[in-house]
């Protein structure tokens, strides 16, 4: 059985700009999570992440013709746009510190989040550990946070991250080194020192 | 390989992204003889595992459906606007308008200004207390002057391209029953032009087909597109339209 051909980002973008709604929904579906999660990890606020997602894709609708697929992947291009939006919005909203993350217009917590798995204590510990990791990432200076979010969470290559951040690959590498060192220090201070599931030990065999 | 060389490789080793097999082997051999570097590699791997656990947990987090709907509406509006005839020169499209069309629009607007200026003067001479209201229409929720109002340099600061759907939502939520008008923010009609450098500007209220909303990226219903919508157009000294905002 032959695998159906998956259109490339550039093809989808071309069709989208020509008015093809299916191309738009495909492209949006492909990258909305990436952009949203990037903004969420960078800002720590769902409201900012929503606005960034909105702005990034509206800009793509308006200025999509400016994108050059030979210069950068669409993933890197969108991450770069999202990064600029996050910086803009966080700067603008800095005086208004949100004390408690608001729920999504009164929506209740999804039921799946209330149901624990087979190991409720383990689930609880993992959730807490993940929360602490997210807090530690948020506490990093933006220049280190953004490379960690791009390279470690979004799994962009160093080259892609460099394009998204508009800086040399070497800068990405050095910031990632420094960011990891800072993050390890923060996690140690928070009492998290080992891998989440398995103890990473040196094998003396 | 020494410890200094290993430190440069540790991150790539932890990620299994080191393409050079020789360097990878040398690095791993080094960890067998150097406890410090072995600990460094273990720490790097542990950190990556933590970060990936968060990434997995967040994998399902996506923007809410309202953002999807809003963007789809914006896409449809843009597509419809492109397909239909152009009503207002939007950003980047001015160059494609033929000069006679621009001249016709400018002339029409100038005529409107003149008529409205006469009307406004005659009204203000009868009601002198209205002079206070002729200053500065506020960027949102203005009481709705129907005649033209002078736009000061300070007000030009409001004439900045920003995104619409969110603004509209905010304005809509701020609207109270006793307020008569809700306005969008200004959209520049000439790309790259700094309105603050212009000496004087004038604003005039006009009515346009609903499809004009799409020209600035606002969602609109194609069925009601022929219906007119109110808009404030900012004109330069040369009579050319520089920015527009919509009024509801």
Q: What is the DSSP string of A49-86?
A: HHHHHHHHHHHHHHHGGG--TTTS-HHHHHHHHHHHHH
| ipTM of model over 0.90 | no
| Terminal Cα-to-Cα distance of chain A (whole angstroms) | 46
pLDDT of residue A199: 41
Cβ <8 Å between A21 and B62: no
What per-residue confidence (pLDDT) applies to A24? 93
The residues, ordered by sequence, that sit 6+ positions from B23 with a Cβ below 8 Å of its Cβ are B9
pLDDT score at A39? 94
- What is the mean pLDDT of the segment spanning B9-21? 78
Nearest C-alpha neighbor of B114 from the set B245, B243, B204, B241: B204
Mean pLDDT throughout B157-176?
41
Q: Which pLDDT belongs to residue B124?
A: 64
Q: What is the DSSP letter of A151?
A: I
B9: CB partners within 8 A, 6+ apart? B18, B23, B24, B27
B16-25 long-range contacts (CB < 8 A, ≥24 apart) are none
- In the numeric block, which tokens belong to residue A149? 């979010």
* Cβ–Cβ contact B76 with A under 8 A: yes
Query: Could you identify the residue written with the tokens 């383990």?
Result: A122
Q: A-chain residues within 8 Å CB-CB of B54? A: 130, 133-134, 137, 153
Which residues on chain B are in Cβ contact (under 8 Å) with A53? 63, 67
- Of the residues A35, A61, A138, the best mutation for testing chain B's interface (the one with the most B CB atoms within 10 Å of its CB) is A61
Q: Does B111 contact A at CB distance below 8 Å?
A: no
- What distance in Å separates the CA atoms of residue B53 and residue B47, rounded to the nearest whole number? 10
Q: Could you tell me the pTM of the whole model?
A: 0.57
Beta strands B201-209 and B187-188, pairing class: unpaired
Q: Do A51 and B166 touch (CB under 8 A)?
A: yes
Q: In terms of Cα–Cα distance, which of A25, A18, A23 is closest to A8?
A: A23
B25-58: b (≥16 Cβ within 10 Å) or e: eebbebbeebeebbebbbbbbbbbbbbebbbebb
Give A25: exposed, middle or buried? Use CB within 10 Å, 0-12, 13-18, 19+. Answer: middle
Give the pLDDT confidence of B113-131 residue by residue, as tens digits.
Answer: 888 888 887 766 655 444 4
CB contact under 8 A, A54 and B166: yes
Residue contact A180–B63, C-beta within 8 A = no
Average pLDDT, chain B: 70
Interface membership of B247 toward A (CB under 8 Å): no
Element (H, E) at A118: none
pLDDT tens per residue across all 205 residues of chain A? 555 678 889 899 999 988 899 999 999 999 999 999 999 999 988 999 999 999 999 999 888 888 888 888 999 999 999 999 998 888 766 555 444 444 444 444 444 444 455 666 666 777 788 888 998 999 999 999 999 999 999 889 899 999 999 999 999 999 999 999 999 988 888 887 654 444 444 434 3
Backbone angles phi, psi at B98, to 5 degrees: -75, 155
Instruction: For residue range B173-221, list pLDDT tens digits in order.
Output: 344 444 567 888 888 777 777 777 766 777 777 777 777 777 777 777 7
């Amino acid at each position: 059985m032959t695998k159906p051909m998956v259109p490339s980002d550039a093809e989808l973008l071309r069709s989208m700009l020509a008015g093809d709604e299916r191309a738009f929904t495909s492209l949006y579906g492909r990258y909305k999570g990436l952009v949203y999660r990037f903004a969420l990890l960078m800002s720590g606020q769902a409201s900012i992440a929503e606005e960034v997602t909105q702005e990034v894709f509206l800009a793509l609708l308006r200025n999509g013709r400016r994108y050059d697929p030979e210069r950068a992947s669409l993933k890197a291009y969108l991450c770069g746009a999202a990064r600029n939006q996050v910086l803009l919005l966080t700067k603008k909203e800095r005086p208004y510190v949100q004390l408690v993350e608001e729920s999504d217009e009164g929506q209740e917590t999804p039921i799946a989040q209330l149901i624990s798995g087979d190991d409720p204590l383990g689930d609880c510990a993992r959730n807490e550990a993940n929360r602490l990791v997210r807090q530690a990432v948020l506490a990093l200076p933006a220049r280190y946070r953004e490379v960690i979010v791009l390279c470690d969470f979004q799994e962009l290559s160093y080259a892609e991250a460099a394009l998204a951040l508009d800086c040399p690959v070497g800068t990405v590498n050095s910031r990632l080194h420094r960011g990891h060192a800072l993050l390890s220090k923060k996690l140690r201070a928070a009492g998290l020192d080992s891998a989440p599931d398995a103890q990473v030990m040196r094998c003396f065999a | 390989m020494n410890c200094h060389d290993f430190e440069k490789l540790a991150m790539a080793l932890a990620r299994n992204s080191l393409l050079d097999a020789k360097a990878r082997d040398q690095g791993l051999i080094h960890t067998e003889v150097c406890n410090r570097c072995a600990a460094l590699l273990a720490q790097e791997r542990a950190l990556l595992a933590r970060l990936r656990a968060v990434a997995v947990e967040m994998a399902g987090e996506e923007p809410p459906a309202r953002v999807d709907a809003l963007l789809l509406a914006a896409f449809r509006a843009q597509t419809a606007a492109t397909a239909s005839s152009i009503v207002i020169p939007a950003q980047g499209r001015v160059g494609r308008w033929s000069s006679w069309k621009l001249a016709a629009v400018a002339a029409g607007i100038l005529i409107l200004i003149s008529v409205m200026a006469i009307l406004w003067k005659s009204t203000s001479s009868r009601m002198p207390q209205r002079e206070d209201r002729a200053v500065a229409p506020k960027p949102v929720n203005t009481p709705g002057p129907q005649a033209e109002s002078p736009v000061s340099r300070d007000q030009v600061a409001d004439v900045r391209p920003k995104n619409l759907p969110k603004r509209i939502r905010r304005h809509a939520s701020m609207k109270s029953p006793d307020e008569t008008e809700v306005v969008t923010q200004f959209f520049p009609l000439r790309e790259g032009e700094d309105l603050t450098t212009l000496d004087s500007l004038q604003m005039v209220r006009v009515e346009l087909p609903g499809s004009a909303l799409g020209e600035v990226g606002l969602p609109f219903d194609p069925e009601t597109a022929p219906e007119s919508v109110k808009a404030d157009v900012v004109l330069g000294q040369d009579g050319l339209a520089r920015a527009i905002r919509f009024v509801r």
